[in-house]
Amino acid sequence: MSDRKRAMDDGSSASKSSPSTPGLSDDVSNGGYNAGMAVFSYIIGGILVWSLIGWGLDNLWGTRWIVLAGALLGAVGGFYLSHMHGLTSSGKTAGKSGADSGPSADGNTNAK
């Protein structure tokens, strides 16, 4: 068991830090599977909700195109919401080492 886990179990030294995004755990804000599921949920949820609103307005007004506009609005809104929560962009490159980035900044290379 790690020291941090032990300290959190006995409650003596480490307190739980709040995540940077309300309602999301630290794992989600760092990316990975949970962040992907959150993005998927935002987009699919937006499509469903706004399609239902569009369907209701279509039935109320006798049109047939508002449901499609609602689905598009929901998809864009879900992507925007996930982007604003910081789930679609990452400040660090995962899986890359310094050697993958190219020549050094000082310009000294061993190329001839």
- Residue 59 belongs to some domain of the structure: yes
CA distances from 40 to 3, 57, 69, 96 (A): 35, 26, 19, 25
What are the per-10-residue average pLDDT scores of the chain (112 residues)?
A: 51 50 53 86 96 97 96 96 84 54 61 58
Q: What is the pLDDT of residue 2?
A: 53
* Boundaries of domain holding 80: 45-87
- Residue 10 belongs to some domain of the structure: no
Q: How far apart are CA 24 and CA 82, in angstroms?
A: 11
Backbone φ, ψ for residue 21 (5° rounding): -110, 125
Q: What is the pLDDT of residue 43?
A: 96
Q: What is the pLDDT of residue 15?
A: 47
- Residue 67 belongs to some domain of the structure: yes
Q: What is the pLDDT of residue 87?
A: 84
- Residue 69 belongs to some domain of the structure: yes
Structural domain count, the chain: 1
pTM > 0.85: yes or no: no
Q: What is the pLDDT of residue 103?
A: 59
- Residue 106 belongs to some domain of the structure: no
